[in-house]
Structure 1
C-alpha cells in the first residue's frame, strides 16, 4: 500500500546521501554495540562506547535529513 496508496508515490526525499549515511551508521553502530555487549572480549567497553557514539552521530544525520526534506508552500512563506 505504500507505493500505490492514495497519497501518491513513496519516495525517500531530496537528500538521499544523508539517508544512506544515516542508515549505514545505524547498522555499523548497532553491530558494534551488540558485539561489545554479547562477545566475551577483554576490551568490550571500546565497542560499546564506539557503537553508542556512532548511533548518536547517526541521529544527527537523521535530523538533518528530515529538516532538509520539509516542504513549505510559498503562501506560508509570505514571499
Structure 2
C-alpha cells in the first residue's frame, strides 16, 4: 500500500536471490549484534563484531540488488 492506494505492481524485482541474501544477512547480523550487546556472555565481543560484519555485507547485497534492478529504456541508451 503506497499513499493509501493498493500497490498492484509491487514485486521484489529480477534478483530475488540477492534480495533474500540481503534480508538474511540483516536478520542474522541484527540478532548477533543484539545478542552480543544484551547477553551476559564471555565472548560478547565476537558476537558484536560478527554481527557488524554481517550488517556490512548486507549493504553489499542491497547495493547489488538495487543496481541490478535499474531499468533504462533502449531509447535513452546511446547504442
| Both proteins in one fold, TM over 0.5 | yes
Instruction: Give the secondary structure class of the aligned counterpart of 1:73.
Output: coil
User: TM-score with structure 1 length normalisation?
Assistant: 0.90
Matched, 1:57 2:60: no
**Structure 1 runs (4+) greater than 4 angstroms displaced:** none
Higher helix share: 1
Gap regions ≥5 residues in structure 2: none
**Counterpart in the other structure of 1:48:** 48
Q: CA RMSD in A?
A: 1.4
User: TM-score with structure 2 length normalisation?
Assistant: 0.90
Gap regions ≥5 residues in structure 1: none
**Aligned counterparts of 1:31 and 1:4: Cα–Cα separation in 2:** 32
